Amino acid sequence: MSDELERPDPVDGVRIEASDGILVITIDRPEQRNAMTKAAAHQIAAALDRLDADPELAAGILTGTADTFCAGMDLKRFAESGERPIVEGRGFGGLVEAPPAKPLIAAVEGWALGGGFELVLAADLVVASDGARFGLPEVRRGLIARAGGIFRATQVLPRAIALELLLTGEPITAADAHRYGLVNRVVAEGAAVAAARELAAAIARNAPLAVRASKAVARRSRTWTDDEAFERQLEYTDAVFASADAKEGPRAFAERCAPRWTGR
């Protein structure tokens, strides 16, 4: 499967491309450092709906053009008209309040600032070039990181490091983000999307029901006790064990052949 949607107005551009079971979403506003607009947020939300609805798609990648992932909210538009790049029910960028059920990988080149970093924090996996930088500078502008940054940063980073980001507005490097567990892989500049495709391809080889259930339990169990987790996970795991794919996996293993997943 391969297709590319007609490129939208470049002022609010988001490019969508699907191939080999992977949906790549590219924020394409290089002259504005890929700052987020309301129109771009709606395009991202529509792309994520497509990711979850299309059985041929296994994973998504979110990235930006040129040397910036996303500089956050378009502050010029906010100052001029009060525009906020929010989609009802999905939040900033059409993502942060309702990530997709399928895995989403952030491929970061250059700066991921403010809301741009909050988009990264809403993803499941992160690949960054060695020149990438992550920051939450809202306090320097009289604002606050309310698109998930305040609580997600403290979930994925050591508390002291997260608070330093939030209270000083100073960024961290890709190397430090990797050392603290935020980033899965650090690659050469210009190679983030290619490395993200490798991760997505590895995901795409696996049983889709098992992948989605694994992500759902991993995300939702953050606040569960162990006793709750063993009970509440059954809502997701029982369906996987009862699926046709649960029979196909062992069969393919026994016969030493590639499994043919049906997602059922």
For the question of residue 118 being annotated catalytic, the response is yes
For the question of residue 248 being annotated catalytic, the response is no
- Whole-number Å distance between alpha carbons of 30 and 38: 16
| Residue 159: Cβ-neighbour burial (10 angstroms; 0-12, 13-18, 19+) | exposed
> Which is catalytic among the residues 80, 88, 97, 138?
138
Instruction: Give the rounded distance of the alpha carbon of 57 from its chain centre.
Output: 15
User: DSSP of 141-169, one letter per residue?
Assistant: GT---TTTHHHHHHHHS-HHHHHHHHHH-
Are 126 and 78 in contact, with CB atoms under 8 Å apart? no
> Which is catalytic among the residues 118, 170, 189, 228?
118
Are 10 and 40 in contact, with CB atoms under 8 Å apart? no
Query: Could you list the active site residues?
Result: 118, 138
